[in-house]
Amino acid sequence: MSRPRERPASSQLGDACTISVTCVADGRSHAVPDGELAMAATQRGGYYSAVCGHLVTPAPMVAPDGELCRACAERDAAHRRRRSARGYRF
């Protein structure tokens, strides 16, 4: 399940790029900073910390996006725009 972590405010994300990753534990699509993906490859064995603080256990990358994590969307406007562009509803 999710471990509570300090959540960055939207202003703290700045221009950081995020990737939509669906979590198998909650079925939601979370915004994960690209730096977190690179760092996690060597440190956490495949678990990623989303901008909302959720510890994501990723679904296969070929699986369709899960339902939007609203907490991630509040903190990362790009996450919401990407999902809108793909035709997903919120």
* Within a domain: 34: yes
Output the pLDDT for position 15: 55
- How far is 29 from 27, CA to CA, in rounded Å? 7
The two tokens of residue 82 are: 């990407």
Q: Which of 24-28, 63-67, 74-78, 84-88 has the lowest mean pLDDT?
A: 84-88
* Boundaries of domain holding 27: 10-79
- Name the DSSP class of 23: B
pLDDT for residue 90 is more than 50: no
Task: Assign 3-state DSSP to the chain and report helix, strand, coil percentages, each to 5.
Answer: 30, 20, 45
Output the pLDDT for position 11: 40
The two tokens of residue 21 are: 């990753």
pLDDT for residue 1 is more than 70: no
Output the pLDDT for position 38: 84
Output the pLDDT for position 9: 47
- pLDDT 10s digits, 7-57: 444 444 555 789 999 999 999 999 999 888 888 667 767 889 999 999 999
β-pairing, 55-56 vs 48-49, is: antiparallel
Total number of domains constituting the chain:
1
* Within a domain: 2: no
Angle at 89 between CA 2 and CA 23, to 5 degrees: 25
